[in-house]
Amino acid sequence: MRNCLIALILTFIPASIIPVSAWADLIDAEQAYQEGRWTDAATFALEADDARGYAYASWALTAQLMVEPDHFDRRALMRRAVDYAETAYRLDAEDLLVQRQLAMALGVRGRFMSGFRAYLQRLPHRGRHLLTEVITADPQDAWALGLMGAWHLEVLRRGGSAGRSTLGASIDAGLALYSQSIALDPDNLAPRYFLALGLISLQDRARYDLAVEQLQIAIDQEPRDAFEAGIREEAILLMVETADYRAAARWAEDRLSN
């Protein structure tokens, strides 16, 4: 098992970037992440004491926020995730994985404030810029494509027509980006769930069947780690609500509010 994890870590993180002394910390972080021990994963990752370590710690806490909607102090968890992502970016602003994680963390941060305040702090602008940089450099980054798809749907959810006119968000663009993400990593159930969640939150009746279809596919897939298992549980809860269009929209809105 440990040899498999080493191979996975070296695929995720090029060896030339991480000092040999940091590999063990990240392997332990990956093991903890696979098992859903989010705090341990963040702690081990921080021991690497470099940009990738801080980015991984941020991702572990961001994952926890996504799969533990009833966590007792979500705001404090969000702040730590953002702080780690910002630290990673200060250490290496050119690293694509660091850029991607900062964009994700900023998106989560925006949920804890009004859309107007997020706009004034230019959170959607920063997120879009970071993801554009990642996708331009690596058009095959499935996570970045999915995050950009989520960016479009979230800007529309928060800003409505203003988000469309001032930031250029659109449902069609979001769908296209999610479709690319799913095509690149069809075994990842998370993009399917978040696509369904976003569409349902927008109360897009024309695409409601598509949302329910993607939700069912996500539920039918086998989770590959604790994060995907948690997302699958969320998908099951949302599916229960889909018999009532308005109830499903309320559930989705609640999940996306913070």
> 115-144: per-residue pLDDT in tens?
888 888 999 999 999 999 999 999 999 999
Residue ending a domain, among 112, 139, 158, is 112
Give the pTM.
0.88
Three-class secondary structure of residue 172 per DSSP:
helix
Q: Is residue 32 included in any domain, yes or no?
A: yes
* pLDDT for residue 18 is more than 60: no
Q: Is residue 245 included in any domain, yes or no?
A: yes
83 token code pair:
């702080």
105 in the same domain as 3 = yes
Alpha-carbon separation of residue 60 from 9, 10, 20 (angstroms): 15, 18, 22
Q: Model confidence over 19-44: pLDDT tens digits?
A: 333 445 688 999 999 999 999 999 99
Q: Is residue 102 included in any domain, yes or no?
A: yes
108 in the same domain as 5 = yes
Task: Say which CATH number the domain at 82 has.
Answer: 1.25.40
* pLDDT for residue 218 is more than 90: yes
- 153-167, 169-183, 207-221: segment of lowest average pLDDT: 153-167
The number of folded domains in the chain is 2
108 in the same domain as 2 = yes
Report pLDDT for 100: 97
Q: Is residue 127 included in any domain, yes or no?
A: no
Of 168, 149, 76, 161, nearest to 107 by C-alpha is 149
Residue ending a domain, among 112, 139, 167, is 112
Q: Which stretches within 138-203 are classed as H helix?
A: 142-159, 161-167, 171-184, 189-201
Domain that holds residue 211: 186-258
Q: In this predicted model, which residue has the larger pLDDT, 161 or 102?
A: 102
Which of 87-111 are b and which e, b meaning 16 or more Cβ less than 10 Å from the residue's Cβ? Answer: bbbebbeebbbbbbbbbbbbbbbbb
Q: Is residue 156 included in any domain, yes or no?
A: no
The whole-number average pLDDT for the span 61-90 is 96
Residue ending a domain, among 112, 146, 173, is 112
Q: In this predicted model, which residue has the larger pLDDT, 248 or 120?
A: 248
The whole-number average pLDDT for the span 246-253 is 96
The whole-number average pLDDT for the span 234-251 is 97
Number of alpha carbons in the 13 Å side-chain half-sphere of residue 62:
23
184 token code pair:
């690149």
The overall average pLDDT reported for the chain is 89
Q: Return the amino acid letter for 43.
A: T
What's the pLDDT band for 190 if we cut at 50, 70, 90?
very high
Q: Is residue 11 included in any domain, yes or no?
A: yes
203 in the same domain as 108 = no
Cβ contacts of residue 51 below 8 Å, gap of 6+? Answer: 88, 89, 91, 92, 95, 98
Spatial separation of the C-alpha atoms in residues 216 and 73, rounded to whole Å: 31
Q: Is residue 133 included in any domain, yes or no?
A: no
